[in-house]
């Protein structure tokens, strides 16, 4: 009995593979390397000293999924695969709707056909849109202010409808806040193809001298220092959350959403200052205009995950910054 991991060569997927393998789980990993790199698969094997089946394919490909389910006894699925750049989703909405939603529907349909009814979905805090207040609980109203967020929201609705139609399904919808950091080995981390969209990969490029400076979007928000506040969580803590969710769906049926965050908010300038202090390096930055749709503050209330999944974030901001620079120093600086 194996766990199928889609998008397993990606940032969060690869760290989750490490945690699962270290717990003795049997994995089948799928990735098409659209926004990841093949060497990550080998890095996961090096870190864990364990091997696993790998299929290079697109989750939208129903025939490829049929082959995987025919050749393997899949008992659970953790679904990371999907496009994730907010700005690109605004420019190319049909690409995001087609890829993210079609892949999820195709995957869930294949699971149902083969009697596999345990599913962990990689959702996002973007399903809350621009919240009226913080911290954000799972009961907050759901909305979407960009096509990327809309795809996550639609897939959550699809999962709820699927469970309502078939009560044998057990589904965990994990709403991530802002993952940063890297594995302690420095062998895997956030290294997207093309121009990154998130704060830490951009900050790392400025630290490595690959960009002249980091652009900080907006310094006139109603926050202590004028920059946006977000809930940054170490990717290893986030990966552990998937193990806890897997344990829950193995015991109980249902379709439930959980915030995965620290419950603490840090501003962009606080992240820069913490990175500089943790790694003794200066980050050149300039202020730029606000980006459309950015909320001033967004951080979680993670109590439900603690109560229902027995999960809490453990690693602090210093470790997030240190591990990020360790990964950059080992990988990005040498590319």
Q: Is the dihedral of CA 260, 82, 100, 21 positive or negative?
A: negative
- Token duo for residue 254: 């249902």
* Residue-wise pLDDT tens digits, 159-203: 999 999 999 999 999 999 999 999 999 999 998 877 777 899 999
Write down the catalytic residue from 148, 163, 258, 266.
Answer: 148
| Cβ proximity of 46 and 21 under 8 Å | no
Question: What is the pTM assigned to this prediction?
Answer: 0.96
* Residue-wise pLDDT tens digits, 108-153: 999 999 999 999 999 999 999 989 899 999 999 999 989 999 999 9
Q: How confident is the model at residue 218 (pLDDT cuts 50, 70, 90)?
A: very high
How buried is 6 (Cβ within 10 angstroms: 0-12 exposed, 13-18 middle, 19+ buried)? buried
What are the structural domain ranges in the chain?
Answer: 2-183+232-261
What residues have CB less than 8 Å from 254, skipping those under 6 apart?
Answer: 163, 170, 171
Active site residue 148: yes
pLDDT above 90 for 32:
yes
Give 86 or 218, the one with higher predicted confidence.
Answer: 218
Superfamily of domain 2-183+232-261: NAD(P)-binding Rossmann-like Domain (3.40.50.720)
* Residue-wise pLDDT tens digits, 87-109: 889 899 999 999 999 999 999 99
pLDDT above 50 for 75:
yes
- Tell me which residue has tokens 């803590």: 237
pLDDT recorded at residue 333: 47
Pairing of strands 229-230, 266-267: antiparallel
> What is the maximum alpha-carbon separation in the chain?
56
| Cβ proximity of 327 and 188 under 8 Å | yes
Mean pLDDT score of the chain? 95
């Amino acid at each position: 009995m194996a766990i199928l991991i889609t998008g397993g060569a990606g940032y969060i997927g690869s760290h989750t593979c490490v945690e699962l393998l270290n717990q003795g789980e049997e994995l089948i990993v799928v990735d098409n390397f659209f926004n990841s790199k093949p060497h990550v698969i080998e890095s996961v094997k090096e870190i864990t000293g364990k091997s696993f089946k790998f299929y290079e394919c697109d989750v939208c490909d129903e025939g490829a999924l049929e082959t995987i389910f025919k050749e393997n006894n899949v008992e659970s699925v953790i679904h990371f695969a999907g496009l994730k750049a907010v700005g690109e989703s605004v420019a190319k909405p049909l690409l995001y709707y087609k890829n993210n939603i079609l892949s999820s529907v195709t995957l869930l349909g294949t699971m149902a056909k083969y009697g596999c009814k345990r599913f962990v979905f990689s959702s996002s805090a973007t399903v809350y849109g621009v919240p009226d207040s913080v911290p954000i609980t799972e009961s907050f109203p759901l909305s979407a202010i960009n096509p990327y967020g809309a795809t996550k929201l639609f897939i959550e609705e699809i999962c709820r409808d699927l469970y309502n139609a078939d009560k044998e399904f057990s589904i965990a919808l994990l709403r991530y806040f802002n993952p940063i950091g890297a594995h302690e080995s420095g062998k895997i981390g956030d290294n997207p193809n093309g121009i990154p969209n998130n704060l830490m990969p951009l900050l790392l490029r400025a630290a490595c001298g690959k960009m002249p400076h980091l652009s900080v979007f907006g310094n006139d928000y109603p926050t202590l220092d004028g920059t946006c506040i977000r809930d940054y969580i170490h990717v290893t803590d986030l990966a552990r959350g998937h193990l806890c969710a897997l344990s829950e769906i193995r015991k109980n049926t249902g379709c439930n959403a959980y915030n995965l965050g620290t419950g603490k908010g840090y501003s962009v300038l606080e992240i820069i200052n913490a990175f500089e202090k943790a790694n003794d390096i200066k980050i050149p930055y300039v202020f730029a205009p606000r980006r459309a749709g950015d909320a001033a503050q967004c951080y979680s209330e993670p109590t439900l995950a603690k109560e229902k999944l027995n999960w809490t974030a453990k690693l602090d901001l210093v470790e997030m910054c240190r591990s990020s620079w360790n990964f950059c120093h080992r990988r990005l600086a040498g590319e």
